[in-house]
Structure 1
């Protein structure tokens, strides 16, 4: 079995994927909130 050294794995791809996910979630949340506000204003 190969020995594992803590902190030696290259995680650049995982970090990029996670950052993309967080950006997507943030933008989607903002769009949903804006849509809810517009619906509230239109239906008054």
Structure 2
């Protein structure tokens, strides 16, 4: 096994994945809130 050196890992892929996930969560929340507002306005 190769010896592990602390701080030597390339995390660019992890950061891109996390950014994509956060973008998905942000837009999901916006859509859900918009649907709830729409339902509240047009509810009988």
Give your verdict on TM over 0.5. Answer: yes
2:7 match: secondary structure:
coil
Deviation, 1:18, is 0.5
Residue by residue, what CA displacement relative to the aligned partner does 1:14-39 show, whole Å, maximum 9, x if unpaired? Answer: 10000000000000111000100110
2:42 is aligned to 42
d(CA) in 2 for partners of 1:20, 1:39:
29
Dislocated runs of 4+, deviation >3 Å: none
- Aligned residue pairs total 44
Q: Which runs of 5+ in 2 are unaligned?
A: none
d(CA) in 1 for partners of 2:15, 2:39:
36
Q: Which runs of 5+ in 1 are unaligned?
A: none
d(CA) in 2 for partners of 1:30, 1:37:
11
